[in-house]
Amino acid sequence: MYELIQAGDRTYYIDCPTKVGIYRTGEDKVWLIDSGNDKDGGRKVLKIVREQGWSVEGIVNTHSNADHIGGNEFIQSRTGCAIVSTPVENAFTQMPILESSFLYGGYPCKALRNKFLLAQSSNPTGTVDKDLPQGLTTFSLPGHYFGMIGVGTDDGVCFLADCVFSETVIAKYHLSFIYDVQAFLDTLDQIDAMEATLFVPSHAPAVEDIRPLSQINRAKVLEIAAFLEELCATPSTFEELLQKTFAHYGLTMDFNQYVLIGSTVRSYLSYLYDQGKVTADFVDNRMLWRRA
């Protein structure tokens, strides 16, 4: 864990719970792609960088989930580095309470104000459309989060953030967080057509061909959508659908899982509703989802 791996002539990544990319912009200067899952992760990342004789010029955040920006504040406070992303992700990075609030749908109680959902605030200094160093490019990867991006390097490496999850993660948890199901599926189509010498997802092993993993992710999304559509054959409230989803996939509910899986199930229901596969009725002041 926290092993430095060379991926291209100028590109590396640190193999850790949420992979951190490293791109050398000069002999001893680097930009990071994400920063680790928390302060301790950021400390380990910075230690590895300094052991190579490098200094951090900037961080490109693929998106603002806490496990991707958790090391920002520590690294920025020690180096004064730049931090850039898309405008919406910069907003969440500067005000991390937005993540817990949006997931819960109201002010998050203390149990939801934890480091898993609430990173330390850091200071974005620019946006990826105008403040990237030479040698890096970004591309939109919508679906998992609001303005998530991937990062490409000029030596052929593509960092794919959370647009795919490993087969192990899918087999164990089944539901990964998705904000926009249709956009998630469209992004899988997009990366299937991409070319790179190496693809580096944040939560799966690096591979030369991303398409087999993309197909596994797509199949699971379509399976979950079909499962929820079938549940709606019996008109059900959201809470009833959520309970049956946890039971079916053998998941254990706590505050974090309630908001993460709950938000994802709502996104699936929106996807099915927009496709005309389910409708919603209001009966006795209850919202009931039913199959169309």
Summarised one tens digit per residue, pLDDT across range 51-61 is: 999 999 999 99
Please compute the mean of the pLDDT values over residues 14-23 and round it to a whole number: 97
More confident residue, 1 or 268: 268
Token pair 């799966």 in the structure block, residue: 204
Distance of CA 196 to the CA centre of its chain: 21
Do residue 136 and residue 266 come from a single domain?
Answer: no
Do residue 275 and residue 148 come from a single domain?
Answer: no
* Residue 132 DSSP class: P
Tell me the average pLDDT of the chain. 98
* Domain limits for position 240: 223-291
**How confident is the model at residue 290, as a pLDDT?**
98
Is pLDDT at 2 greater than 90 in this prediction?
Answer: yes
Is pLDDT at 137 greater than 90 in this prediction?
Answer: yes
DSSP, residue by residue, 51-84:
HTT-EEEEEE-S---HHHHTTHHHHHHHH--EEE
Q: Which of 102, 131, 153 is the last residue of a domain?
A: 153
Q: How many domains does the chain have?
A: 2
The answer to whether residue 284 is domain-embedded is yes
Q: Which of 106, 129, 153 is the last residue of a domain?
A: 153
**Identity at 176, one-letter amino acid code:** S
**How confident is the model at residue 1, as a pLDDT?**
84
Distance of CA 34 to the CA centre of its chain: 11
The model's pTM: 0.96
Is pLDDT at 236 greater than 90 in this prediction?
Answer: yes
The answer to whether residue 202 is domain-embedded is no
Write out pLDDT tens, residues 241-287: 999 999 999 999 999 999 999 999 999 999 999 999 999 999 999 99
Please compute the mean of the pLDDT values over residues 111-130 and round it to a whole number: 96
Q: How far apart are CA 26 and CA 67, in angstroms?
A: 27
CATH of residue 121's domain is 3.60.15.10
Do residue 24 and residue 116 come from a single domain?
Answer: yes
As a whole number of angstroms, the longest Cα–Cα distance in the chain is 68
Angle at 278 between CA 277 and CA 279, to 5 degrees: 135
Is pLDDT at 65 greater than 90 in this prediction?
Answer: yes
Do residue 116 and residue 233 come from a single domain?
Answer: no
Q: Which of 153, 169, 195 is the last residue of a domain?
A: 153
Do residue 9 and residue 145 come from a single domain?
Answer: yes
CATH of residue 271's domain is 1.10.10
Q: pLDDT-derived band of residue 216, with 50, 70 and 90 as boundaries?
A: very high
The answer to whether residue 270 is domain-embedded is yes
Token pair 């991926």 in the structure block, residue: 7
**How confident is the model at residue 121, as a pLDDT?**
98
